[in-house]
Amino acid sequence: MKNIFCLTSLAIFILSQTIAQVKVPFAGIDQTWQNGADRRDSSVFQHMKIFTPSLLMDLNYNYSFNDPIDHTVVGSTALARHAELQLAALHFGGDFNYQNVRARIMTQFGTRSTVVPRNDYSPYRGQYDLANVYRYLSEAYAGYHIDKWYGINIDAGLFMSYIGLNSFYQAENWEYQASFTSDNTPWFFNGVRIQIFPTKNLKIEPWLINGWQSYGMFNSMPGIGGSVTYMSSNSNWKLITNNYYGADAAAIPDRKRFHSDNSVLHRYYNHPERSGISKMAFSFTGDIGFEKGGGVNGFDDSDPANPAQYFVSAMFYNRVWFAQNKWAWTLGGGFMKNPGRYLVLYPTGQASPLPNPNNPTQTAGAFPFSANPGDPFEGWDASTNIDYMPSQHILFRMEWVHREASVPYFAGHGGVTSPSGYNTTPLDPNWRPDLVKSESKLIFALLFRL
């Protein structure tokens, strides 16, 4: 009996030591307040060890005061249709973990499965229609976990981008219509990443990818880059830097792109037990980048034959939670300057249905949106919203947003499709898309996550 007791005690001791040696990155750090992060503190499926399911649903109704007759939203990756209730996204899938083997699969259905891939022109190089092959997947990668430091993950496949701070999944963002900084930077990457956690507070993540939000490659050079994330042990600070270098101008291999994206998030008040104001935080993101070579010259605008082509933007949001985190109010906005328009979302509809076959860096169609080197583009936006969160699994949002551009860009009352608003209507030679310099809209959204 004594021997059995000793053996049992030894087994418990060894098991406890093994458990104690398991190191989890960011363990004990509250991330539920962060812009672009999961606001849940746990999953209802957390006890399922090998496979953890996930389900997200994103429904929106938005009303533009320009009231376009074709109900088409221009210049947004979050919205597609005006004055209609839309299923923007339905995601289901989950995470697989078994003996250090890991994988994640998330599908995507709804308007975003068209809105987001349409901004990737790499599928027009070669065959096999990559835009449709990958369209209904938001994440699909597999890899291996190495028990070194606080973990090393090596993954290959389709994964989310951190550039621009905002998450691809709207339930994780403080605002619905992303500012120019986020909306004009990548939502996904296709390639290989390594996540290295040398300490509990730090993640270092290099990338080797096909390109800048591209299923395929525009030229022969892959994109390289990486992300570094630091979170303070008291949960009140998060610092992120993302940097990228690649050749992403179709058929112009000499044109190289560099981009640096940097964010700081700070929770400066936290009293969740209070019925009044329970939490306050802000996020600030600043981006700077340029393209050089192949007819453009970065920040140098001294040579008219090789004009400047760069990207400068910033966004700031402040969020206040109250009523024990059941309600929240967010106020913020940002700006973007992008001469050459190389990261501007092209207007949709008859204005730009396909790339120009004679110049793949530009759009074609009856009325292409100009994206020549040196073409100016500046924009700014402001928004505010109220969120009601009766549960960590559902959020109701009402948001007002105003956006301005230096050139006609947003859909006006005449729309961007045809005189009638239907794409089956033959175009009158004198008709033009009705693009205007500003828009204001109301957005109502229901965001579900399980």
pLDDT single digits (tens) 53-76? 999 999 999 999 999 999 999 999
Amino acid identity at 379: G
Length of the chain: 450
Q: Are 53 and 20 in contact (CB under 8 A)?
A: no
- pLDDT of the residue at 12: 42
The mean pLDDT of 410-439, rounded to a whole number, is 91
Q: Could you list the residue range(s) of the whole structural domain that residue 59 is in?
A: 44-449
Amino acid identity at 166: N
The mean pLDDT of 402-420, rounded to a whole number, is 94
The mean pLDDT of 315-338, rounded to a whole number, is 97
Does 7 score more than 70 pLDDT? no
DSSP string, 302-337: S-TTS---EEEEEEEEEEEEETTTTEEEEEEEEEEE
Q: Are 293 and 254 in contact (CB under 8 A)?
A: yes
In a domain, 192, yes or no: yes
- pLDDT of the residue at 43: 81
- pLDDT of the residue at 47: 77
pLDDT class of 177 with cuts at 50, 70, 90: very high
pLDDT class of 368 with cuts at 50, 70, 90: confident
Closest of 341, 333, 291, 331 to residue 314, by C-alpha: 333
- pLDDT of the residue at 2: 44
Task: Judge residue 109's burial from the number of C-beta atoms within 10 Å of its C-beta, 0-12 exposed, 13-18 middle, 19 or more buried.
Answer: middle
In a domain, 18, yes or no: no
- pLDDT of the residue at 349: 54
In a domain, 39, yes or no: no
- Tell me how far apart the terminal alpha carbons of the chain are, to the nearest angstrom: 48
The mean pLDDT of 288-307, rounded to a whole number, is 95
When comparing pLDDT for 191 and 251, which is higher?
A: 191
In a domain, 252, yes or no: yes
Give how far Cα 79 sits from Cα of 74, 196, 252, 353, 392, Å. 8, 35, 31, 17, 24
In a domain, 351, yes or no: yes
- pLDDT of the residue at 367: 75
pLDDT class of 141 with cuts at 50, 70, 90: very high
Pairwise CA distance, residues 209 & 156, whole Å: 9
- pLDDT of the residue at 21: 58
- pLDDT of the residue at 45: 81
In a domain, 209, yes or no: yes
When comparing pLDDT for 400 and 42, which is higher?
A: 400
Amino acid identity at 207: W
- pLDDT of the residue at 192: 98
Q: Are 273 and 302 in contact (CB under 8 A)?
A: no
What is the number of domains present in the chain? 1
Pairwise CA distance, residues 49 & 47, whole Å: 6
Give how far Cα 46 sits from Cα of 140, 196, 446, Å. 20, 24, 24
Give how far Cα 131 sits from Cα of 251, 262, 312, Å. 19, 29, 29
Consecutive H or E run containing 408: none
Does 353 score more than 50 pLDDT? no
- pLDDT of the residue at 359: 54
Residue 84 φ/ψ region, left for φ over 0, alpha for ψ in the -120 to 50 degree band, beta for the rest: beta
- Give the number of other Cβ atoms within 10 Å of residue 134's Cβ: 20
pLDDT class of 356 with cuts at 50, 70, 90: low
Pairwise CA distance, residues 259 & 292, whole Å: 12
pLDDT class of 375 with cuts at 50, 70, 90: very high
% the chain with pLDDT above 90: 78
Pairwise CA distance, residues 136 & 112, whole Å: 9
Least confident range from 115-119, 261-265, 312-316, 348-352: namely 348-352
The mean pLDDT of 419-431, rounded to a whole number, is 88
Does 361 score more than 70 pLDDT? no
Q: Are 23 and 151 in contact (CB under 8 A)?
A: yes
Does 370 score more than 90 pLDDT? no
Give the SS3 label for residue 243.
strand
**Beta-carbon-side half-sphere exposure of residue 385 (alpha carbons within 13 Å):** 25
Beta bridge partners of 403: 381, 439
Average pLDDT, the chain: 90
In a domain, 403, yes or no: yes
Question: pTM of the entire structure?
Answer: 0.91
In a domain, 372, yes or no: yes
Does 364 score more than 90 pLDDT? no
Q: What is the largest CA-CA distance in the chain?
A: 97
Pairwise CA distance, residues 398 & 384, whole Å: 9
- Identify the CATH number of the domain in which residue 341 sits: 2.40.160.10
Pairwise CA distance, residues 420 & 244, whole Å: 43
pLDDT class of 9 with cuts at 50, 70, 90: very low
